[in-house]
Amino acid sequence: MGKAPRPLSPEAIEQIARRFAALSEPMRLKLIHALFEGEKSVNALVEETGGTQANVSRHLQHLSQAGILARRKQGLQVFYSIADPTIYDLCELVCGSLEKRADQQAAVFAG
């Protein structure tokens, strides 16, 4: 089994819950995934995700306030990038876990 979890204060639990809540929206996950390739403008993210300008901007703002994304303004353009590099590890961990589970379920139906 894994190592024992560290004790957490109620405030820490609240902060953790807010971080997971920020990641619980599919459009936010699309935006994060799009930014794995590097910094992009809001316009590029709108085009890549298929969202509306207002919706994408709202989700980008939420992810920035959560400390997951960094925001940079250049003239009239706004660019976003990954601010918290641990998000790469978290996404890989979750995707790997889901992939393993899907493989196990497929094996049950194949066997």
CATH code at 37?
A: 1.10.10.10
Angle of the 26-35 helix axis to the 86-110 helix axis, nearest 10: 110
The answer to whether position 51 is within a domain reads: yes
The phi and psi torsions of 84 (rounded to 5 degrees) equal -110, 100
pTM: 0.82
How confident is the model over 26-45, as a mean pLDDT? 96
Model pLDDT, residue 1 = 58
33, pLDDT greater than 80: yes
The answer to whether position 94 is within a domain reads: no
The answer to whether position 16 is within a domain reads: yes
Model pLDDT, residue 76 = 94
Model pLDDT, residue 59 = 97
- CA–CA distance, 64 with 59 (Å, rounded to integer): 9
β-bridge mates for residue 41, sequence order:
79
Written as one letter, the residue type at 73 is: K
How confident is the model over 73-91, as a mean pLDDT? 94
Cα distances (Å, whole numbers) of residue 90 to 94, 97, 102: 6, 11, 18
Q: How confident is the model at residue 24 (pLDDT cuts 50, 70, 90)?
A: very high
